[in-house]
Amino acid sequence: MGFRLAENEKDRYLSELLQSYHVFAPVAKAGKGAFSDTDVVGYGEIESFGDIVLDRKSHFSPKEVFYPVRETLFQFLKDEVLETTIDEKPLVVLVRPCDLNGVRRLDTIFLKNGQEVDTYYERRRKKVKFLMVECTEGFDTCFCVSMGSNVATDYDGALRFEEGSLLLDIKDPALATEILRDRPEADFQVEYIRENKVKVDAPPLEAVTKDLFDHDLWTEYTSRCIACGRCNTSCITCSCFTMQDVQVNDEKNLGERRRVWASCHIDGYSDMAGGHNFRKKHGEKMRFKTMHKVNDYHRRFGEHMCVGCGRCDDVCPEYISFSKCINKLNQIAKEVAQ
């Protein structure tokens, strides 16, 4: 159902939401940019719609709101285990369509990949409702249209910030707070971006062969990539994690198990027993990531993992463009096919 809120009513809607939800949105964190005297746009709790930053893309994706960078799963003492609990208050997270499509990838990995459901993900994820912010302009590095993730309809509510008013499309009645009741419906159809500056063609699945695996394309990235992992930590769909067991007493039987994000670009990711590592070169790491994002995942789940948010391009200190890499891969696939 569509509604229109006047400028002076917007924050009343938000304050009503805040009675039942933590509300997260992209905000500017003053002085917290890596460079001095800069801010960084990342996800944080808001108290006013005025806190939201939409004219810049968030540096980090919204995934950290419900998939923490670091999370203690349980604590242990000898044979006893105490699972951690989480804040019971549910969350509303403001996202763009690309990110909402990214969340579906995360859901797939954590909830639909094999027989077991990741309960630690699930317990947080089921507390989240998404308010999708209409996005019709995008940014220079976006390629959501190419990845088919410019459109998302599985939102709980959608927003359009207009001059002087806020338009809402509420699907989940729980998000229709007091101020929306008995209000005349407004006509609001969410619009989507239909063309990005960057266009990407992922190679057809069957075109990705062993020839591409061994191609020289990847050696370029061996010299360019510095394996910092920013592409992974900013990505909405990177879901890899590792475990950390911390023992705090001398007997080493009191402690906790945490899981933390892992990055396929950072050394140690592919370490195996006996000190083996099958992806030592940075180009090989780039290949692994690329193949997962635009090939392997698709083979298993029927859609590409990458949603084209372009954050990896934005944050790479070496100016490596992932969209360009995909296009190169496609070009080479064509050449190899001939």
* Residue numbers at the binding site for other proteins (CB under 8 A): 31-32, 34-37, 40, 42, 59-60, 68-70, 228-230, 232-233, 244, 246, 248, 258, 260-263, 266, 268
Which tokens is 244 given? 């950390």
In this structure, what are the phi and psi dihedrals at residue 111, rounded to the nearest 5 degrees? -115, -20
Burial letters for 167-203: b for 16+ Cβ neighbours within 10 Å, e otherwise?
bbbbbeeebbbebbeeeeeeebebebbeebebebebb
**Minimum CB distance to other proteins smaller for 36 or for 338:** 36
**Minimum CB distance to other proteins smaller for 44 or for 310:** 44
Closest CA to 196 of 135, 142, 136: 142
**Minimum CB distance to other proteins smaller for 175 or for 315:** 315
**Minimum CB distance to other proteins smaller for 32 or for 197:** 32
Q: Give the CA distances from residue 76 to residues 84, 241, 246, in Å, rounded to whole numbers and listed in that order.
A: 11, 20, 10
**Minimum CB distance to other proteins smaller for 261 or for 297:** 261
CB of 32: closest distance to other proteins in angstroms?
5
The pairing of beta strand 165-170 with beta strand 2-6: antiparallel
Please identify which residue in the block is written with the tokens 């190419």: 146
CB of 29: closest distance to other proteins in angstroms?
8
Contact assessment for residue 60 and residue 43, using Cβ atoms and an 8 Å cutoff: yes
**Minimum CB distance to other proteins smaller for 114 or for 268:** 268
Report the distance separating Cα 323 and Cα 199, nearest Å. 8
Which tokens is 89 given? 């208050």
Question: Exposed, middle or buried by CB within 10 Å (0-12, 13-18, 19+), for 94?
Answer: buried
